Structure 1
Amino acid sequence: MHVVLSGVVGSTAYGLARPGSDVDRLGLFAVPTEELHGLQRPVESVVSSAPEPDRTMHEAAKWCRLALSANPTVSELVWLPDELYEVRTPLGEELIALRGALLSERAVRGSYLGYAGQQFRKLLTRGPDERPRAAKHARHLVRLLEQGVRLHETGELVVRLTEPEQVRESGERIAARPELAEPLLAEAERRLDRPGVLPSAPDESRVEAWLRRVRRAYWTA
């Protein structure tokens, strides 16, 4: 596994971590290019957890496909604050530089509203003894809506929340009364329906060119 880019994500990156919070890591790796020519497909994702650090690694092509669909978790890897990167190779720097090419209006709208809607449905079906987890779902809902709207309107994915404690407090209220999320979802949908700054389609040619540079870099004869 050749790690191209990796860093700390999740609650630490959002500014929501508390003492004892898990530290989540996300990364992108490249398989030796020669392995792509055999009968068996090489591994596309590697996930490790306790007792190892929580870490998710995606192969370069899979990461690009997920990022082009505006997957919120995957996308934040190229928008992290500098101090949260743990591996940052020259190819990783190139990927960060072309992060705007991954974006498109339709994908951002569908993905962020879709993931927020999933969190809302989890709130509606939680059991009475699941309050801590419900609060986590509610925080994710608030965060996703805030990040999605800002990305749509400014073209920038802000991973570190500007008001993390406000998001935490909103999460507690929504966990207790899930119906409070409905106006937030409606307002986000309204703003995402308005014209934004994102292109109608991502610049796949730039992403493809980067991926081909990765394949050349890791070719072994």
Structure 2
Amino acid sequence: MPSFPERTGKTSTKVPLDVAPEDAVLTAARARADELGCLALSAECGAALRMLAAALQAKAVVEVGTGAGVSGLWVLRGMRPDGVLTSIDSESELQRAARLAFREAGVTAGRARLINGRALDVLPRLADGYYDLVLISDAPVTEYPDYLVEALRLLRPGGAVAFGGVLLGGRVADSQARDPVTLVARELLRTIRDRPDLTPAILPVDDGLLVAIRG
């Protein structure tokens, strides 16, 4: 019989290995995001998205919120080599920064399709049931229910939708918080939880990454 060490009941918070190292390309993209006043996801959140894209063997991904390309770089690194990222943002300056980041990473033009515009105007033009992953990384929380409707139309069976920042700095769990944004976030969580065709989980990265797999 193999022996195992006794459990002490204590949980270590120390991480013995950095599982989300960022190379020079990601570091430069993050620096440009700071210069442009754009909030970029953490390396830990990026690693979670890379893992999700890899687990899905993602060939087609939609991202709402291009930013300076940090999230796109992480997702592309988890996608299939022939995969295409479609990223939507209304800020042309940010998309110029993202294009630079993708070029520095050696991403060919055909693998990153950047669309300038309001995402809720662009998404209805994309193909039904074609996408492996829909990522809502930068959008008003009050619009999240609309993005869920679009994501469910766009996703193939077995695909996933991911929403960033769903915990709102702890307000979602605070019963005293009754502001409109918090109420919308709570309703989104309830809606996703109660749908039989979705399998959800909240990953403890950044301010909560809600991921739901479509059955």
Same topology, TM > 0.5: no
Larger RCO, structures 1/2 (Cα 8 Å, 6+ apart): 1
Indicate the structure with greater strand content.
2
Indicate the structure with greater helix content.
1
Compute the TM-score of the two structures, normalised by the length of structure 1. Answer: 0.28
